[in-house]
Structure 1
């Protein structure tokens, strides 16, 4: 793949990340100072950067604790930064959950709780309810991740198998006021969906969750399935008086980041179009639709004139059927490169948090000749795709995109350049 195409696409990714910069996003959304204490809590893959930025911007005393993924911590002076496992929860996550509850224990109506919430918080805050265990919650996460269900479905089920999600953490803060500042990584930017809404209640109930399990054919662990059949530990609903004084603000999102990338492309002489910031579905199927549009533009100059950059965001899913390595962005890109093989395009697909799947890459690059190059190296791209092994494909092409942790998370970023 041409180095200037890689540089151009990587620059668009950087523009998207800059638009979600923690300090910029927080500065315009600081709450009013309370008469009492200010306690900061939070969770997510980019929460340590949010906490550090909040410390710099907040003029006054504060305290608190946040939890992020292993390797994502940054130094804070007054806010404790804990680390735990993602995407499958571990014992450190249990300790972090307890630390958050301890931080908001025994507050008064004069106190303020600032909740910094971003993507990844669901796994980082395990809190198995009733007689369930951490192993039960880990098995639930594994079943959900393997199911191919969209993030909204996974979160609706997680909320019913938790002692912290679905607004339960905010309820524990009462009578203090809770201001939740959200960096959205979910399609549609519903704050109750980000990190399964530990401080944001919604109308999801137990029967609805059971219906989703059936609709999506999710194979739940037996103990979790039994828990969902009961009515113990139900989440508080939005109309509960404990939430009356609370505020929720989405301070960064995929939409804002895509608009920033479009502006960066225009500044470099390439007009951009945004398909959507909330695309969901199986990654390989979404890629085929993008490939059809790419072929139409490259071959016929419609529905967009050349040159152009096609941008999209959202969160696709992968139904795991093989034993390979990769994530939803590399799987999207491998499917795109197969379906649009030979067309004149260059593309990037990457997770804005800097990690796609279980490896250290955010995503990868591809163009119309990637699959031919891969075959010459002795690999069959169709076999790799069937085995969910997109990482191997782009590793051998030397086209993995590895920016490192970005400090934010506003969902997937996709850009297709057609010169």
Structure 2
């Protein structure tokens, strides 16, 4: 694969990043030996189905194994021929929780109870678990939890802020699942989808201590003007709590590893690669503009990188959804698409610059695409159709813009999730 076909080359880099994060490639080194008692697998996240299958494939055939994992609708991978199902996988809604996720969380909490010190709990945690593992706090209905979740998603709050609130409105997140498993030994295998790879933020940390407080959560809600019923928040188990003694957490795949895999793929094709960061946050369109400024400097002056090169970055940006006049159709799209809108707008048709931005789970927001491509003639082709990028940004309609241009990146569910992937090729 060479840059002679920029779109195919960029998609090749994306595929390399995703492949590096697949659970079957990363799980074996972190599996403990079977215990004297039972082994129960519990988990949640967009990679949950693939993680469960990896454990089934790698766990000794004669050792007891059972459990329940919840993943997003349509994110359970096809079962390999001959692989016996020992872990039940159910599906629920993401990013706004639904009754199926509530039922799954209730069942998982029940399965965690009554265990002994001779038992082992393998917890499989990946991004998306916050919505999929939903068990509202006492006094909080599912409908209220859905309202709060929607408001957070549209507020521009970052993932750390959102998950701080979610922990304190839950009976299972923020270390509470680990507490329910006592006195069993708990080993958590996690795939990071958050800047900094903090396990207490990934899926709202159901099996790890939580350093945030109810006061922190209330301050976040106040900052974004989101109301919650009084008296429903509760405190989470904190670092140093004895319930976590002996527990282990293993990060089996991270955004940085996937960016490095993409960089290796680029260099193998003879193109130098530069990783900016795996922790980039901020408003998606503004992050796109900053990337555009860097790409234009490389294209025009060969600084700070010599061309040809690929500029890679990851992290988790946000989209603040703008209120529209009554009767205006709601825009469609997610973080990756909005990044591409901001990038295209700021590139101003810069020659010899191509880009891809796509979510590594294969779903940008709630749409059927992973992200989009940006090409040197993106703005020109759009204007020929009467489409102005400013108008699409104003209504957060990245999907509509890139769909009309035939520039959506459609992969289907990838069965993993290490968050945003961005690659800019400058020739």
- Take 1:370 and 1:169, find their aligned partners in 2: how far apart are those partners? 48
1:418 shift after superposition: 0.4
- Which residue pairs with 1:395 in the alignment? 403
1:213 shift after superposition: 2.7
* Superposed counterparts of 1:241-320, under 5 Å: 241-320=242-321
The question of whether the paired residues in 2 share the 8 Å contact of 1:114 and 1:180 is answered with yes
Task: Please list the CA deviations of residues 266-314 of structure 1 after superposition, one character each: whole Å capped at 9, or x if unmatched.
Answer: 0001010000000000001111110100110000000000000000000
- Take 2:366 and 2:116, find their aligned partners in 1: how far apart are those partners? 42
The question of whether the paired residues in 2 share the 8 Å contact of 1:139 and 1:221 is answered with no
- Which residue pairs with 2:201 in the alignment? 193
- Which residue pairs with 2:231 in the alignment? 227
The question of whether the paired residues in 1 share the 8 Å contact of 2:76 and 2:415 is answered with no
**SS of residue matched to 1:28:** helix
Distance 1:3 1:325, change over 3 A: farther
- Which residue pairs with 2:44 in the alignment? 43
Residue of structure 1 aligned with 2:340, choices 333, 337, 348 = 333
The question of whether the paired residues in 1 share the 8 Å contact of 2:221 and 2:227 is answered with no
- Which residue pairs with 2:55 in the alignment? 54
- Take 1:187 and 1:233, find their aligned partners in 2: how far apart are those partners? 26
The question of whether the paired residues in 2 share the 8 Å contact of 1:136 and 1:221 is answered with no
* Superposed counterparts of 1:138-149, under 5 Å: 138-149=146-157
Task: Please list the CA deviations of residues 169-220 of structure 1 after superposition, one character each: whole Å capped at 9, or x if unmatched.
Answer: 1110000011001100000000110000111122111112222233xx2122
Distance 1:81 1:3, change over 3 A: farther
Deviates more, 1:98-107 or 1:50-59: 98-107
Q: Unaligned 5+ residue runs, structure 2?
A: 325-329
Task: Please list the CA deviations of residues 6-36 of structure 1 after superposition, one character each: whole Å capped at 9, or x if unmatched.
Answer: 1000000010011112111101111132111
- Take 2:76 and 2:301, find their aligned partners in 1: how far apart are those partners? 48
Residue of structure 2 aligned with 1:379, choices 378, 381, 387 = 387
- Take 2:36 and 2:348, find their aligned partners in 1: how far apart are those partners? 62
- Which residue pairs with 2:370 in the alignment? 362
- Take 2:271 and 2:194, find their aligned partners in 1: how far apart are those partners? 28
User: In the alignment, does 2:101 pair up with 1:103?
Assistant: no
Instruction: Give the TM-score normalised by structure 2.
Output: 0.94
Count of residues in Structure 1 that have an aligned counterpart in Structure 2: 411
- Take 2:183 and 2:234, find their aligned partners in 1: how far apart are those partners? 21
- Which residue pairs with 2:72 in the alignment? 69
- Take 1:73 and 1:64, find their aligned partners in 2: how far apart are those partners? 15
- Runs of 4+ residues over 2 Å off in structure 1: 211-214
Distance 1:313 1:334, change over 3 A: same
- Take 1:36 and 1:238, find their aligned partners in 2: how far apart are those partners? 28
- Take 2:110 and 2:29, find their aligned partners in 1: how far apart are those partners? 29
Deviates more, 1:270-279 or 1:314-323: 314-323
- Which residue pairs with 2:178 in the alignment? 170
- Which residue pairs with 2:327 in the alignment? none
- Take 1:63 and 1:392, find their aligned partners in 2: how far apart are those partners? 44
Residue of structure 2 aligned with 1:182, choices 180, 183, 190 = 190
1:3 shift after superposition: 8.3
Task: Please list the CA deviations of residues 245-280 of structure 1 after superposition, one character each: whole Å capped at 9, or x if unmatched.
Answer: 111111101000000000000000101000000000
The question of whether the paired residues in 2 share the 8 Å contact of 1:41 and 1:113 is answered with yes
- Take 1:315 and 1:375, find their aligned partners in 2: how far apart are those partners? 30
The question of whether the paired residues in 2 share the 8 Å contact of 1:143 and 1:219 is answered with no
Distance 1:117 1:381, change over 3 A: same
Instruction: Give the TM-score normalised by structure 1.
Output: 0.96
- Take 1:383 and 1:357, find their aligned partners in 2: how far apart are those partners? 20
Q: Unaligned 5+ residue runs, structure 1?
A: none
- Take 1:341 and 1:361, find their aligned partners in 2: how far apart are those partners? 24
